[in-house]
């Protein structure tokens, strides 16, 4: 059994606890939060003999913790991940891998040196419709993909940003792209391959916050394909996020993880209508997230630990998504096309 610890018991930490409860070969051992009462509440909810602690040090001291899920503010992920890896434990970082590309590189190197598994949450890769699209692209069913588009027109209230001091700050969160849109960045990279360069424009339009709440980015992929991202948290009342991919043989539209349109040269409008399991849309906010996709990813990480292999989503994947986010921010700030580091 892989013993799991969870660090950070705010919004997403309790969902990790719920996800762990349903996976094979693992058990929840301990949870921690700097607000100890939050950890105690999650431990009580998990039942059994799950232990609650007030910090990472206390969590790592609990016997049987082999892997730690880091569910703290984004700008703290890499530093905490380094400490966990240096203690010889496997690491799952919530998305994004961090807000600072340099820190993200450090956690990659530290995990490699320690010989531990490092994964970054990208749970939408495990949504049925997106998994199916990924397999179809790999099998050449769309032909050579020419265009990919990700759209997240979501809504967050000012109260959402005001509730926690880290939200919407450059150091600890970033804006709509770094927090919400990074899911779409990861999916486009997974589906279309690496991005060479980015041109972006952004605004802070409807919220009092440091970072942006509206961003539009144009992507050029190494394959020659082009891409577009439109992401906002200022679009009342919020809409389900979509990924659209086009090729000469087929074009596919996925909404909230479900294929809603699959048009191919072989038979126009072969499928129109919802296909695949419904996935909760992140447009509804973290508390509305379905647990299944997190559970599927954590199951893969636990299997990777047990089988001594790399996980489906690696630290490198997390770094690649952050590099695109950083290039978009640099373009929006300084102007022009920015090469992805």
At residue 173, φ and ψ (nearest 5 deg) are -140, -55
> Mind giving me the DSSP string for 190-257?
HHH--EEEEEEEEE--SS-SSS-SEEEEEEEETTS-EEEEEEESBSTT----EEEEE-SSEEEEEETT
Selected from 123, 233, 256, 331, the binder of ligand NAD by CB under 6 A is 123
Cβ at position 36, least distance to ligand NAD in Å: 9
73 lines the binding site for ligand NAD (CB under 6 A): yes
Selected from 157, 158, 286, 339, the binder of ligand NAD by CB under 6 A is 286
34 lines the binding site for ligand NAD (CB under 6 A): yes
- Residues 6 or more apart whose Cβ sits within 8 Å of residue 329: 174, 177, 178, 200, 202
Token look-up 């997390």 returns 318
Cβ distance to ligand NAD smaller for residue 181 or 227:
181
Cβ at position 287, least distance to ligand NAD in Å: 9
240 lines the binding site for ligand NAD (CB under 6 A): no
45 lines the binding site for ligand NAD (CB under 6 A): no
Selected from 2, 6, 9, 245, the binder of ligand NAD by CB under 6 A is 9
Cβ at position 169, least distance to ligand NAD in Å: 12
* 315 contacts 116 by C-beta, under 8 angstroms: no
Q: How far is CA 312 from CA 46, 165, 199, 238, in A?
A: 27, 33, 29, 30
Cβ distance to ligand NAD smaller for residue 243 or 338:
243
H/E segment holding residue 24: none
339 lines the binding site for ligand NAD (CB under 6 A): no
# of chain residues touching ligand NAD (CB under 6 A) = 28
Hey, is 283 helix, strand or coil?
helix
Cβ distance to ligand NAD smaller for residue 121 or 209:
121
Cβ distance to ligand NAD smaller for residue 121 or 145:
121
- Could you give the CA distance from residue 320 to residue 149 in angstroms, rounded to a whole number? 18
Tokens at residue 18, please? 């719920």
Q: Which residue ranges make up the site for ligand NAD (CB under 6 A)?
A: 7-13, 32-35, 38, 55-56, 71-74, 76, 94-95, 121, 123, 164, 179, 282, 286, 289
């Amino acid at each position: 059994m892989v013993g799991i610890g969870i660090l950070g018991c705010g919004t997403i930490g309790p969902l990790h606890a719920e996800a762990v409860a349903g996976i094979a070969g693992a058990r929840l051992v301990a949870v921690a939060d700097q607000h100890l009462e939050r950890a105690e509440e999650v431990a009580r909810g998990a039942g059994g003999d799950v232990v609650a602690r007030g910090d990472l040090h206390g969590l790592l001291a609990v016997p049987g913790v082999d892997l730690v899920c880091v569910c703290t503010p984004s700008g703290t992920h890499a530093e905490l991940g380094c400490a966990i890896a240096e203690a010889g434990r496997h690491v799952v970082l919530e998305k994004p891998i961090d807000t600072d590309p340099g820190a993200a590189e450090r956690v990659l190197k530290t995990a490699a040196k320690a010989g531990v598994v490092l994964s970054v949450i990208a749970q939408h890769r495990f949504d049925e419709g997106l998994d199916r699209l990924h397999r179809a692209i790999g099998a050449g069913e769309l032909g050579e993909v020419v265009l990919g588009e990700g759209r997240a027109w979501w809504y967050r209230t000012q109260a959402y940003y005001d509730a926690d001091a880290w939200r919407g700050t450059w150091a600890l969160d970033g804006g709509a792209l770094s927090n919400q849109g990074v899911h779409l960045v990861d999916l486009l990279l997974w589906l279309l391959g690496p991005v060479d360069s980015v041109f972006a424009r952004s605004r802070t339009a409807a919220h009092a916050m440091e970072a942006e709440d509206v961003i539009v980015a144009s992507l050029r992929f190494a394959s020659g394909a082009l891409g577009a991202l439109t992401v906002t948290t200022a679009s009342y009342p919020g809409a389900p996020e979509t990924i659209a991919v086009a090729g000469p043989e087929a074009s596919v539209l996925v909404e909230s993880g479900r294929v809603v349109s699959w048009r191919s040269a072989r038979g126009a409008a072969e499928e129109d209508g919802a296909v695949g399991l419904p996935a909760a849309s992140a447009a509804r906010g973290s508390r509305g997230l379905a647990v299944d996709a997190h559970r599927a990813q954590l199951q893969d990480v636990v299997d990777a630990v047990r089988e001594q292999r790399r996980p489906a989503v690696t630290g490198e994947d997390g770094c690649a998504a952050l590099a695109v986010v950083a290039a978009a921010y640099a373009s929006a700030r300084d102007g022009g096309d920015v090469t992805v580091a």
